[in-house]
Amino acid sequence: MHRLAGSRWVMGRWARGYRAMKRVIASLLLVAAMAGTAFADVFVFETVDEFDHTSQVQRFRGILQGGAEPSELDVRVTGYPESMTTSCERMALMAMARPGRYLLRITTTVDNQAHYLEVCRLIRR
């Protein structure tokens, strides 16, 4: 299992829809650059096997699109509105309940090797 940090490997595993994502990533990177040294990162889970939620972190575990082994992603949610974290939680549950039916795409801002939640999106396949 891989512990995910901000890396291009993750994006490399995301074969399908990679070029479209480049544009999204470029926009997020621009926003991050304007804010400081932070940059954006995108993770697309083909399967979600586990989901944990603490007061500070949401942990996603599953197989990233294009990957062969399960990976684990910790996303900081301290101070986030409950509606946003609850939305991500429900999307993870949907992906777990319907294996292979959805892709769960999580966009984060990476700052000092820590991921901060930006957007959760559930995509029907």
Positions touching other proteins (CB under 8 A) are: 8-9, 11-16, 18, 46-47, 63, 66-69, 90, 93-94, 97-101, 125
94/101 Cα distance (integer angstroms): 9
Nearer to other proteins, 89 or 111 (CB): 89
3-state class of 70 per DSSP? strand
Q: Which H or E run includes 10?
A: helix 8-13
Nearer to other proteins, 21 or 119 (CB): 21
Nearer to other proteins, 38 or 48 (CB): 48
Shortest spacing between CB 67 and other proteins, in angstroms:
6
Q: How far is CA 65 from the centre of its chain?
A: 11
Shortest spacing between CB 101 and other proteins, in angstroms:
5
Nearer to other proteins, 35 or 98 (CB): 98
Shortest spacing between CB 36 and other proteins, in angstroms:
26
Residues with Cβ within 8 Å of residue 110, at least 6 apart in sequence: 5, 6, 32, 38, 39, 40, 41, 116
